Amino acid sequence: MNRRRFLSTTAIAGAASTSLLHGDGHKTKQGYLELIRFVVRNRPAIGKLEKYLGSTVIPGLNKLGCSPIGVFRPKHGSHGADVYMLVPHADVDSFLTAWDKLEASSGFQSVSDTTMEGQYYERMESTLMRTFSHMPEVEIPRAIAGVSGRVFELRIYEAHNRMKSTLKIEMFNEGGEIEIFRDVGLHPVFFGETLAGPLMPNLVYMLGFKDMEERDRNWKRFVSAPAWKKLAANERYKGTVSNITDIIMTASSVSQI
């Protein structure tokens, strides 16, 4: 997994420098997120990839300061045997060097340099994101931490030009949409502005829920919330989203989120 190969690929998503259970009050500068989509040969092969990520890749990246790392399987809204991995980076230098350092570490090559017949995945895409100013870190929401069967929702908001995408980011930050999410139980995990990756310009965010019932119930609360209705009526933010991709996921057993 050489960094040069990562830079030549496309991608999906990102988060901040350190983990935060929301409510601790810790503040930090904006970080960077790498969202990786692994395309796996078939569903039975997913377990082999996840075992490799859990035993070799995640511990190695943790030692380099990348934490918490999330690993997710799509449940709804995606096709094929995909596995997503979210890697937080404290700065751009971490994004540029972490994988080369990992590749040079003891024991990594012997496990990772497989034959084509024994490969862990077919191909991969990587998206680089910068976290939002009003949510600069990856969070593990208290409401879902350690909950068996928890689900995650990955949403990609495309815009028809960069200015509109910037306005939508403002709507989440200064407009207060992130706080409305929190108030109604849409538990944020990260918000990221895509700097390099597919479907640009866009922003990407992830929410966590105890189960699908909580997800459906709290989205209804959001739509009917007076604060959201007032914000949605603001003419400044009209026409900021041209397309939405919505993927429902479950956490892998090796996920740290």
Does 189 fall in a domain? yes
Q: How does pLDDT run across 100-122, given as a tens digit for each residue?
A: 999 998 889 999 999 999 999 99
Q: How does pLDDT run across 163-190, given as a tens digit for each residue?
A: 999 999 999 999 999 999 999 999 999 9
Query: What number of CA atoms fall less than 13 Å from residue 67's CA on the CB side?
Result: 10
Does 27 fall in a domain? yes
8 three-state secondary structure: coil
User: Of the ranges 74-83, 99-108, 159-168, 217-226, which one carries the lowest mean pLDDT score?
Assistant: 74-83
**Strand pairing class (19-20; 138-139):** parallel
The structure tokens listed for 87 are 């890697």
**Strand pairing class (123-131; 32-39):** antiparallel
Q: What percent of the chain has pLDDT over 70?
A: 87
Give the containing element (helix H, strand E) for 202: strand 202-209
Q: CA-CA distances (angstroms) from residue 53 to 2, 45, 86, 220, 233?
A: 15, 13, 12, 36, 45
Does 139 fall in a domain? yes
Number of domains in the chain: 1
What is the CATH classification number for the domain harbouring 183?
A: 3.30.70.100
Q: How does pLDDT run across 49-75, given as a tens digit for each residue?
A: 999 999 999 999 999 999 999 999 998
Res 81: pLDDT = 83
Q: CA-CA distances (angstroms) from residue 244 to 62, 93, 201, 202, 241?
A: 32, 31, 12, 9, 7
Does 243 fall in a domain? yes
pLDDT of 22 above 60: no
Does 257 fall in a domain? no
Q: What percent of the chain has pLDDT over 90?
A: 82
pLDDT of 96 above 50: yes
Res 26: pLDDT = 46
Range of the domain at 8: 3-251
Which residue did the predictor score with more confidence, 87 or 80?
Answer: 87
Alpha-helical runs (H) found in the chain: 3-7, 46-52, 58-63, 92-103, 108-112, 162-172, 177-184, 212-224, 226-232
Does 256 fall in a domain? no
Does 121 fall in a domain? yes
Average confidence (pLDDT) over 193-219: 98
Does 212 fall in a domain? yes
pLDDT of 236 above 60: yes
CB 255 within 8 A of CB 165: no
